[in-house]
Amino acid sequence: MLITPRPGANRQTLLQALRQVHTAVSNLRGGSGALNAQGRLAGYLEWATATVQQLSNQISAADLDQLVLTRSYDRLLSIAGTMTGDDIATQRVLNGLVSLELTQRVDAFEAAIKALQEQTQRWSRPGVFAVADTSFYIEHENKLEDVDFRPLLKIWEDPVHLLVPIVIVDELDGLKKSRNNRWRPGYTLAVLDRVFASSTGPARLTAEDFSALGSGGIPRGEVTIELVFDPPGHVRLPINDDEIIDRILAIQPLAGREVTLLTYDTGQSTRARAAGLRVNKLTPPAVSEAQAHEFYKDPEHLAVAGPAQQREQPMKSGMIPRVTPSGELRADLGVTGVHARVRLRRVSVRMRAPVEPGDANPSRS
């Protein structure tokens, strides 16, 4: 099992503590031959109490429940004052229960130490670590494979390791099914599916590029990407923004460095800063009025048909203009993945009939 360090925990200190606990329970399992069953039970309960005190400020409560405060611990604690007999049957039963639990604790801590070593080795790679939330994959002006992370992370030629918590993949799957701007979620999911076709481990997204050196420019470091799955038994937080932040807080101690969150969402950035994370709050490119006019010169970008025909032939942009109560024509721009509410103050549209506020189908002759 991969444990979840508490925010601020040091991975090397945690690894050392886990080894100490593992040694103690191993000694308890094999070095208590002179004790009767009640003595072995008391030794196990003392070890459990000391272990919780030692690890409670380093790993999550859920991890303590899986590693130490198990159901077997509860059962043994409940019978500590009742199975006090010295007869052979009582000693045999109690010794068997204690031995089984000690063996399981030894195995559990061995697995935790191994998983922690493997994960810290994987995340000891050089470079800058980042997590981009769902809004980044939808609203950034460039597609995932074309993004230059250097200005976003304020770096030069450093390699970038992009971590993708699985909750973000689930959000993209949901957005792919929506009616508005489906191609960006679908594109991003297709890239992830291709990159992780043979492995869920770290994979190359874009190769390093040294071509700029010939003109005196700065080379671009390699960009790698990795899926971060929920730990076994993990219960997600009810708000996905909080869940993403919680995953980043769990990643940082294992990676041994800060992880930067890239987001276009104000609520997400505010929550992340409150949690002590490094955040780059991005702003979508502004859409000028001239761009809006140019966009709507194409008849395909303006709904000119009646409701029935419009349902049969939706606009390529996936947007339907509407008239506001103030008489202004508004539309959602989604051509480059930028969700921008644009006021078209000087669009000349000759109406066949008076347009009522809220009408989604103004026509022109």
Domain ranges in the chain are 11-122, 128-281, 285-365
Name residue 50's amino acid.
A
Residues of the chain with confidence (pLDDT) below 50: 300-365
Contact, 76 vs 101, CB < 8 A?
yes
CA distances (Å), origin 202, targets 167, 196, 198, 256:
17, 9, 11, 17
- For residue 336, how many C-alpha atoms fall within 13 Å in the half-sphere facing its CB? 12
Element (H, E) at 88: helix 88-122
Q: How far is CA 10 from the centre of its chain?
A: 21
The whole-angstrom separation of Cα 130 and Cα 258 is 9
pLDDT digits (tens, 9 = 90+) for 171-200: 999 998 876 667 889 999 999 999 998 887
Tally Cβ neighbours within 10 Å of residue 69: 15
The whole-angstrom separation of Cα 147 and Cα 145 is 6
What CATH number does the domain located at 128-281 have?
3.40.50.1010
CA distances (Å), origin 292, targets 154, 296, 317, 331, 341:
32, 6, 13, 9, 10
According to the model, what pLDDT value does residue 350 have?
Answer: 34
Nearest-CA neighbor of 68 among 102, 116, 98, 20? Answer: 102
